[in-house]
Amino acid sequence: MRLSHLLFKTQKQAPKDEVAINAKLLIRANFIQKLMAGVYSFLPLGFQVRERVINIIREEMNALGASEIIMPALHPRSLWEATGRWQGMAKIMYQFKDHSGREIGLGPTHEEVVAVLAKTAISSYVDLPKAVYQIQTKFRDEPRVKSGLLRGREFTMKDLYSFHRDQPSSDEFYDRTKRAYRKIFERCGLNSFITEASGGDFSKEHSHEFMVECPAGEDEIFLCRLCGFAQNKEIAAKTKNHRCPHCQKGVWEKVKSIEVGNIFKLGTKFSEPAQLFYKDSKGNLKPVIMASYGIGVERLIGTIVEIHHDEKGMIWPTSIAPYLFYLLEVGESSSALKKFGEQVYNRLEKFGVEILYDDREKVSAGEKFADADLVGLPWRLVISEKTLVQEKIEIKRRDEKESRLIKLNEIKNYLKR
Ligand code: ATP
Ligand code: MG
């Protein structure tokens, strides 16, 4: 891709109204743009990252055997009345009347909708188990939105819902999903802690939050680095000698964290009001056992930036970088260099190499170097007089100091995502 073709312009200064590192860097690098507090557009480079994150999530959801659907954002009040959440979630839910007086809510989550939706396909034990997910826009009237992509008023959530005959089979799927979540975060370059949290009003059992340790986080958890056990602040056991209550050996440490995912056992809380029942093998009518599982796509992206950056800019993990290589020439005035640059770019493009060519005119090499660091692609390729005479290119990893000269065909050693 030629940088000159993209809607792209970096900013030297971070916007004054942003405090979070993720927002500052993503806005400066023109990955995102703020429309209003908690509401962001994704520009070409940001969109690429978002697509890659979504693809990783989608692959792992499909591997679980869940099927993808999409549900509406506009919900009728009656549906939410049935579960008591029209009032229960009134603070966070955008609620309004349309021109004909119909009362409508913008979906902050989809348990109500999915329970009703599942009724057409589930009526007997032979119809179970089932699992569906969507990657869809949620709306939440969040009181404070100071953390950039970590907390939006409009954001994309991957929400998965499972339907089972009984608790043991539901729990087995729940545990498989836990492992899938760990894998998703790992593939995105994040180390997550599975953290016990209260089941909320759904269940007496614990729910589980997936927490990434990070100073920018709005949450606090206790964790044990020795055995990996973690609990959120609300339920964390008070311990003697600050030892882990699980293994009794490690230190029970309090750290700031970001909740990138959350999974809940719902029991029959949503199936009963929706009358989502099935007939068991003896002909008895039973409520379906449900569970729900969420991941915030933009929050995940914001977390990745919070974890992977330095004073110069972002450092994307190869798995989700918008492109693998950032190509630039030093010495814009030399036509021989420009020609070599074009040649290199065209050859690599032809071979399907994921490359971003900084072909912008009237932008100095110094600015291009700074932008390469800010944008944070995994590899920087530089063409200069020095490399030209040897018909080589200089390659450097974004997070390393040393560069080296390679022949163009050696690029094949660097293509792995
Ligand atoms: P929080 O406690 O941070 O407000 P939550 O517990 O209300 O989040 P859930 O309803 O469990 O969030 O939503 C599932 C996932 O969606 C969260 O784990 C998080 O990754 C993401 N998420 C929730 N709220 C937001 C938001 N306002 N902006 C971005 N992502 C969000
Ligand atoms: Mg939560």
Separation of CA 298 and ligand 2 centre (Å): 15
Would you state the torsion angle of the CA atoms of residues 193, 257, 37, 102, taken in this order, to the nearest 10 degrees? 50
Asked if residue 281 is part of any domain, the answer here is yes
Claim to verify: residue 385 and residue 267 sit in the same structural domain: no
Q: Average pLDDT in the 4-16 region?
A: 93
pLDDT over 90, % of the chain? 94
Claim to verify: residue 52 and residue 135 sit in the same structural domain: yes
Compute CA distances 293 → 242, 272, 363, whole Å. 32, 19, 46
Q: Which residues pair with 309 in a beta bridge?
A: 314
pLDDT value of residue 203 = 66
Separation of CA 325 and ligand 2 centre (Å): 36
Separation of CA 393 and ligand 1 centre (Å): 44
* Residue type at 402 in one-letter notation: E
Q: Can you tell me which atom of ligand 1 is nearest the CA of 264? A: 11
Claim to verify: residue 278 and residue 355 sit in the same structural domain: no
Claim to verify: residue 298 and residue 333 sit in the same structural domain: no
Q: Can you tell me which atom of ligand 1 is nearest the CA of 209? A: 18
**Angle at CA of residue 57, ends 179 and 64, nearest 5°:** 50
Number of domains in the chain: 2
Q: Average pLDDT in the 42-70 region?
A: 98
Strands 67-68 and 130-139: parallel
Residues 6+ apart with CB under 8 A from 312: 370, 373, 374
pLDDT tens digit string along 312-357?
Answer: 999 999 999 999 999 999 986 788 999 999 999 999 999 999 999 9
Least trusted range by pLDDT, from 147-161, 322-336, 365-379: 322-336
Q: Can you tell me which atom of ligand 1 is nearest the CA of 262? A: 18
What CATH number should be reported for the domain holding residue 361? 3.40.50.800
- Say yes or no: CB of residue 157 within 6 Å of ligand 1: yes
pLDDT above 90 (res 64): yes
- Which ligand is nearest to the Cα of residue 299, counting in written order? 1
Asked if residue 99 is part of any domain, the answer here is no
Asked if residue 395 is part of any domain, the answer here is yes
Asked if residue 45 is part of any domain, the answer here is yes
Asked if residue 383 is part of any domain, the answer here is yes
Asked if residue 11 is part of any domain, the answer here is yes
Best mutation site among 26, 140, 185, 262 for ligand 1, i.e. most ligand atoms within 8 A of its Cβ?
A: 262
Claim to verify: residue 377 and residue 273 sit in the same structural domain: no
Claim to verify: residue 171 and residue 130 sit in the same structural domain: yes
pLDDT value of residue 166 = 97
- Which ligand is nearest to the Cα of residue 211, counting in written order? 1
- Please, what is the average pLDDT of the chain? 96
Separation of CA 67 and ligand 2 centre (Å): 23
Among 310, 336, 355, identify where a domain stops.
310
Q: Can you tell me which atom of ligand 1 is nearest the CA of 261? A: 18
Claim to verify: residue 343 and residue 297 sit in the same structural domain: no
Q: How confident is the model at residue 200 (pLDDT cuts 50, 70, 90)?
A: low
Spatial separation of the C-alpha atoms in residues 89 and 108, rounded to whole Å: 9
Spatial separation of the C-alpha atoms in residues 106 and 140, rounded to whole Å: 8
pLDDT value of residue 341 = 93
- Say whether the peptide bond before residue 143 is cis (omega within 30 degrees of 0): no
Claim to verify: residue 362 and residue 410 sit in the same structural domain: yes
- Say yes or no: CB of residue 148 within 6 Å of ligand 1: no
Best mutation site among 203, 259, 298, 306 for ligand 1, i.e. most ligand atoms within 8 A of its Cβ?
A: 259
Q: Can you tell me which atom of ligand 1 is nearest the CA of 140? A: 27
- Which ligand is nearest to the Cα of residue 296, counting in written order? 1
- Say yes or no: CB of residue 196 within 6 Å of ligand 1: no
Q: Average pLDDT in the 224-228 region?
A: 96
Q: Which chain residues have CB less than 5 Å from ligand 2, an ion?
A: 262
pLDDT value of residue 54 = 98
- Say yes or no: CB of residue 260 within 6 Å of ligand 1: yes
What CATH number should be reported for the domain holding residue 122? 3.30.930.10
Among 267, 286, 310, identify where a domain stops.
310
Claim to verify: residue 167 and residue 283 sit in the same structural domain: yes
- Say yes or no: CB of residue 261 within 6 Å of ligand 1: yes
pLDDT value of residue 240 = 81
Asked if residue 135 is part of any domain, the answer here is yes
Identify the residue whose C-alpha is closest to ligand 1 atom 16: 296
pLDDT tens digit string along 376-416?
Answer: 999 999 999 999 999 999 999 999 999 999 999 999 999 98
Asked if residue 207 is part of any domain, the answer here is no
pLDDT tens digit string along 205-224?
Answer: 889 999 999 999 999 999 99
Domain that residue 159 falls in: 3-71+110-189+257-310
pLDDT value of residue 332 = 64
Claim to verify: residue 297 and residue 384 sit in the same structural domain: no
pLDDT value of residue 202 = 60
φ, ψ dihedrals at 405, nearest 5°: -95, 135
Claim to verify: residue 330 and residue 401 sit in the same structural domain: yes
Claim to verify: residue 285 and residue 333 sit in the same structural domain: no
Separation of CA 150 and ligand 1 centre (Å): 9
The two tokens of residue 169 are: 């089979």
Best mutation site among 32, 92, 154, 157 for ligand 1, i.e. most ligand atoms within 8 A of its Cβ?
A: 157
